[in-house]
Amino acid sequence: MEQENNNNDIFDIVKKIDDNTWEVPKEYKPFMRVPGKIFVSENMLRSMERETIDQVANVSALPGIQKHSLAMPDAHLGYGFPIGGVAAFDSEEGVISPGGVGFDINCGVRLIRTNLHVDEVRPVISELIKNIFQEIPSGLGSKSRIRVNDNELDNVFLQGARWAVEQGYGVESDVEHCEGNGMIEGADPSQVSSKARKRGKPQLGTLGSGNHFLEIQYIDNVYDEKAAQAYGLEEGQVTFMVHCGSRGAGHQICTDHLRTLSQSVNKYGIQLPDKQLACAPTTSPEAQNYFKAMACAANYAWANRQIIMHWTREVFAKTFKTDIDSLEMDLVYDVAHNIAKLEEHIVDGTKKKLYVHRKGATRAFPPGHSEVPQQYRAIGQPVLLPGSMGTPSFVLHGTQQGMDTTFGSACHGSGRAMSRKKAKGAYKGEDVKRNLAAMGIHVEAMNPAVIAEEAPEVYKKSSDVVNVVHDSGIAQKVVRMVPMGVAKG
C-alpha cells in the first residue's frame, strides 16, 4: 500500500533527470556543497516524505563530499542520513560520520543456496521454520548458545567471518563469498568500550529483533541465465537468507563514538544542519578511532551471520535427515548494508580514495573488479535485495554504470512506507500471519505485534524498487525468490 503524502511540493524542489533519476539542486539549501540525486520512479517520489529529501540535502553539507548526496530507490526517513543514503568523502579532505553508517553497524544480508527443490521443501516448511526458530536465538532478550571470553571477543572483532569458520562454524569458501572476505581491515579492539563488550559478548550468535529475519525462499524467476549459472542459482531451487547485524555491540560503539564526535564538531569548525550528522575530518583521531571501532563491529556482524548460517545448515540437515554436505548449502554472497569503507573510485577522471558511507545501501561492484570473488568476476558482484515477509527478494549483479553513478552502490531492501506505530494500529499480527499462511508463507515470531509491525503492506513493493534499480542501470536483475517461511526476531 503506497501512502500519499500530498507532497506535491516535492516536485517543486527536485529536477527530473530521467524517469528514475531526480536531482535535488544545490540551490535548495544554502549549506549544500553538491546536489542530491534520488533514484526513484515518479510514483515512488510522490509518496516520499519531504523530510527524506531534506535529509539528502543535509548530507551534502558535509565537508569533502564527492559528486552527489545519493538516495537509493528504497530511500526513506532516517536520522541524519536517510535510510538508503550513500555519500562518499575525500579520504584526506573529507569526513567520517557515524550517522552515515547507523547504529546497527554492518547490518547485512547473506544468501545461501541449497540443492533442494521447492517441492521437496514445501511439505516440511512449517517444521523447518519451527526448528530454525527453536535453534537460532531470535527476538529481544534471547540468549545465545555460545559464550565468548574477552580474548575470543577480540578475535571476533579482528577477524570477522574467518574467526567463526576457524571455530568450526562453516567452511573456508564461506569467507571467500563475503564482501571483503567477511572482514574489514583496521579494526582495533582498544577503541571498543567495556559497555560495548558487555552488550556484544552474550549476543554473538543471535538474530536480534525488529526487521531482522531468517527466510526460506525459492527461485521462481530467472532473468539472466548466464549470471544465475555463475551464482549457482536456478528456477525452483530453495535458498535461505539471513538478515542481521552487530547487535548491541554495534549500537554501543555507535553511541559511544557519536558522543565523542558530536563534541568535536565545534573543535573542527564544522557546521551541521542536523546533530545526528556529527562527523570529524577523516585524518583526525576522533574519526580514525571511530573507524577502528566501527571495523570491530563490522567484523562482529560477519562472524554473527556466519554462526547463524552454520546453525541453519544444521537444522536443514537434521530436518531432511542427512548431513550438511549433501544438501550443498553454499554461501552465494554476504553484503553489508550499514557501513563506511575506504574505496577507490574515479571522480572527474581521476582515481581517488574515498570513504564511502552506505546507510541502508549495499555495495554493487561491477564485472572485473578485484574485490568481486573470482568465481563471479566476469558477471559482477551479487547484489542482494531482500523483500518484506510477503514479497519477493531479488539477486542482481553490479554494473560499471553503478560504479560510475552511485560509487558502486544499490539499495538494500524495499524500504518502509509506514511507521511501526501506524502499522500496529492498522494490522493485527495474528491476521497478518493467517493471510501469509494462506499465501503459503509460514511465519514464526516471538510476539504477534512484531509481525504486525513488519506486515508486507508497511513496506514499499520490492518489485517497484528493484525495477528502478534495474532500469536505471545501477544493477541488473538475475533471479527472483519468493518467500516460503520466515523466522522473525
Partner 1 sequence: MVSDTIPTKFEFLEHTADAKFKAYGTTLEEAFENVAMATMNVMIDTTPIKGLITKHVELESSSLDDLVVDWLSEILFLFEVEEIVFGNFKVESVSQQEDNKYKIVGEVAGEPIDPSTHKFNTHAKAVTYNGLQVTKENSYWVLQVTIDT
Which residues are part of a known binding site for GMP?
211-215, 337-338, 386-389, 393, 412-415, 488
Is 276 a binding residue for partner 1 by CB under 8 A? The answer is yes
Residue written as grid cell 560509487: 407
Task: Please state whether beta strands 331-336 and 475-488 pair in parallel, antiparallel, or not at all (unpaired).
Answer: unpaired
* Alpha helices by DSSP H, 98-139: 118-121, 125-135
Q: How far is the CB of 251 from partner 1 (least distance, A)?
A: 4
Task: Say which of 251, 357, 412, 470 is annotated catalytic.
Answer: 412
Q: For partner 1, give the closer residue by CB, 77 or 356.
A: 77
- Would you say 89 and 345 are in contact if contact means Cβ atoms under 8 Å apart? no
Site for partner 1 in 19-58 (CB under 8 A): 49
- Helix, strand, coil shares of the chain, percent, nearest 5, are 40, 25, 35
Our CA angle for 121, 123, 126, nearest 5°, is 85
Q: For partner 1, give the closer residue by CB, 210 or 232.
A: 210
Kindly report the three-state secondary structure assignment for every residue of 252-294: HHHHHHHHHHHHHCCCCCCCCCCHHHCCEECCCHHHHHHHHHH
Written as one letter, the residue type at 64 is G
Written as one letter, the residue type at 95 is V
For the annotated binding site, the residues are 104, 211-215, 243, 337-338, 386-389, 393, 412-415, 488
- Would you say 208 and 251 are in contact if contact means Cβ atoms under 8 Å apart? no
Q: For partner 1, give the closer residue by CB, 33 or 195.
A: 195
Residue 412 known to be catalytic = yes
Q: How far is the CB of 208 from partner 1 (least distance, A)?
A: 7
Q: For partner 1, give the closer residue by CB, 241 or 278.
A: 278
Written as one letter, the residue type at 135 is E
**Mask of contacts with partner 1, 246-265, x by CB under 8 A?**
--x--xx-xx--xx--xx--
**Mask of contacts with partner 1, 345-364, x by CB under 8 A?**
--------------------
For the annotated binding site for Mn(2+), the residues are 104, 212, 243, 337
Number of residues that bind partner 1 (CB under 8 A): 46
Q: How far is the CB of 238 from partner 1 (least distance, A)?
A: 30
- Would you say 431 and 437 are in contact if contact means Cβ atoms under 8 Å apart? no
In the list 264, 449, 467, 473, the residue contacting partner 1 (rule: CB under 8 A) is: 449
Nine-digit cell string for 135 = 535453534
CB atoms within 10 A of CB 27: 8
In the list 146, 158, 210, 288, the residue contacting partner 1 (rule: CB under 8 A) is: 210
Nine-digit cell string for 468 = 528502478
> Using CA atoms in the order 433, 207, 364, 61, what is the torsion angle rounded to 10 degrees?
100
DSSP state of 142: P
Q: How far is the CB of 100 from partner 1 (least distance, A)?
A: 13
- Would you say 129 and 373 are in contact if contact means Cβ atoms under 8 Å apart? no
**Mask of contacts with partner 1, 59-98, x by CB under 8 A?**
-----------------xxxxx--x---------------
Length of the chain: 489
Q: For partner 1, give the closer residue by CB, 277 or 287.
A: 277
Point out which span in 32-40, 218-226, 325-333, 412-420 binds partner 1 (CB under 8 A).
412-420
State the Cα–Cα distance between residues 203 and 188, nearest whole angstrom: 20
Is 155 a binding residue for partner 1 by CB under 8 A? The answer is no
Please give the helix or strand (H or E) that residue 458 lies within, else none.
none
Point out which span in 100-108, 109-117, 295-303, 387-395 binds partner 1 (CB under 8 A).
100-108
In the list 68, 113, 162, 199, the residue contacting partner 1 (rule: CB under 8 A) is: 199
Q: How far is the CB of 82 from partner 1 (least distance, A)?
A: 10
For 82, half-sphere exposure in the C-beta direction (CA atoms, 13 angstrom radius) is: 31
State the Cα–Cα distance between residues 124 and 112, nearest whole angstrom: 18
Is 487 a binding residue for partner 1 by CB under 8 A? The answer is no
In the list 124, 146, 317, 446, the residue contacting partner 1 (rule: CB under 8 A) is: 446
Q: For partner 1, give the closer residue by CB, 180 or 200.
A: 200
- Would you say 205 and 307 are in contact if contact means Cβ atoms under 8 Å apart? yes
* Residues involved in catalysis: 412
Kindly list the residues in this chain that would bind partner 1 in the complex (CB under 8 A).
49, 76-80, 83, 102-104, 139-142, 195, 198-199, 208-210, 248, 251-252, 254-255, 258-259, 262-263, 274-276, 278, 416-422, 424, 446-447, 449-450, 453
